[in-house]
Structure 1
Amino acid sequence: MATAAVVQASSVFAAFDKDGDGKVSADELRGSMTAALGEEVSEEEAAAILATVDADGDGLLDQEEFSRLAEGVAGDEADDDEVRRRCLKEAFAMYATEGGDEGARITPASLMRMLDKLLESSTEKMELEECRAMICRFDLNGDGVLSFDEFMVMMMGNV
């Protein structure tokens, strides 16, 4: 349902926007990524990621720019595919189980854990069945989990 996707995107944006000012700063991006990944993200990395989609140059991400970050869109067409793929790999790694590039998968349980982390300040929590349903929509081979390729299809909206 399109409305549910918009609500979900807004909830994720709100989880990153810790001070509630309607913008995500490099520090907020860094803190959320560090919490989600379980390892330190440098100030430089967060600033570089933010800069790839900061269309108005204010050093902050509004909701539209944040959405472009999730889509992996960058300005230079020659580098678009590589930047998009790198951004998607980073996002995928936040949700996926361990297993290296080839073995990593997003399971219903790993999706639920990440969404709980991202939405920790929200009263709305995802149930395992809801996560299964989300995965099922994009699970092209029917194995009950999302591979990176399936995740990429989901994020790019090519279904």
Structure 2
Amino acid sequence: MTKSIDTSARTSSPRTQSSLSRRCVVSLMCTFSCIVGPAHAGAATSDHERRIIVAIAERPDPAPVVAGTSRGYGGLSGYSASTRNRLTSADIARDHQLVEIANWNIDLLHLHCTLFEMPVGVERNALLVRLRNDRRVRLAQPQQAFYTLNSAASGT
């Protein structure tokens, strides 16, 4: 006699999975975008207030076919962004007058993230709304700044 196991409690709807993925993305984005400095540094500088993070869907380049090998190891790009992602990020930067500071992939979430700096005089919230309405963008948020409360240990 076989027992039937109810797995309905363990499976989640696509909507729940999407919500969990979004929270995971936000957590990871905050982790990757944090700036740590001493407490006496005061408020975030205007440079940090002008920085935003944009995530787009990761679109890897097609695997190249290398003559003489059936494995194709020669064409692996590793952690770098695909040509498609670099072009999409460059298009977003051009369309929204942004300057790229850094970029990285989050392979597990199939996202390519870019840290951009906004032009002087642009209102951040309005720019974030425009980016969130851009069909290429999966996530757009300000860069977060975090400061430590301890000071350097004195020499003994």
> What's the TM-score, normalizing by structure 1?
0.27
- Larger RCO (CA within 8 A; separation ≥ 6): 2
More strand by share: 2
Instruction: Pick the structure with greater CA Rg.
Output: 2
More helix by share: 1
